[in-house]
Amino acid sequence: MTDDNATTSRPDDSLEVFKDAFRRHAAGVAIVTARDGDGAPVGFTATSLASLAAVPPLATFNMARTASSWPALSETDQVIVHLLGLRNRDLARRMAGPAAERFAGDHWTDGPNGVPLLTGVTAWMTGTVVERLPVHGNAVVVVRIGTGGVGEDDDALLYHDRRYLRPVHLDD
């Protein structure tokens, strides 16, 4: 191994390795919404959204099975995945805050299949859950994209080392 890589190797503590590495990783910010068995809106901010395939259009996100939204996500097949812009960072914070406050307000409407649709996002797409892979106390959720739309353009909202950021082009 080169000096470059060995600098602060911590072979005995995989949690520290994991934290140190992901501290160097930046992610786009999304919000997933659904309805629970009683029809109540649920949702959460996710930094794990990834595309899986274009044909058919599939995406994945990860969540803890202790999350307030998991009971709904474990039952319903219908979600909406929202992509966030810089203007949506208060929304990102709200949907990562206390569950009871996430839908208190007029920042959402009923979208397709009655799933909560957040207003003012840069893009949204309906997802039909096609797989839920439990791994320890967590789950990987795979959705097939259906319909959707885009809002006004904006810088993509990023999350990195517990802060929100925006991307800039390298030739700027």
Chain positions 76 to 95 lying near its own copies, rule: CB under 8 A, are: 81, 83, 85-86, 89
Among 40, 53, 77, 93, binds its own copies (CB under 8 A): 53
Smallest distance, its own copies to C-beta of residue 69, A = 16
**Under rule CB under 8 A, residue 41 binds its own copies:** no
Asked if 28 and 82 count as a contact pair (C-beta separation under 8 A), the reply is no
Distance, in Å, from the CA atom of 61 to the CA atom of 84, rounded to the nearest integer, reads: 15
**Under rule CB under 8 A, residue 44 binds its own copies:** no
Query: For residues 97-136, which are near its own copies according to CB under 8 A?
Result: 109, 111, 117, 119-125, 130-131, 133, 135-136
Q: Which of 65, 74, 72, 64 is CA-nearest to residue 43?
A: 72
**Under rule CB under 8 A, residue 49 binds its own copies:** yes
Q: What is the pattern of x (binds its own copies, CB under 8 A) and - over residues 11-30?
A: x--xx-xxxxxxxxxxxx-x
The amino acid sitting at 106 is: D
Q: How many CA atoms lie within 13 A of 171 on its CB side?
A: 0
**What tokens were used for 147?**
């319909």
Distance, in Å, from the CA atom of 78 to the CA atom of 132, rounded to the nearest integer, reads: 13
**Under rule CB under 8 A, residue 162 binds its own copies:** no
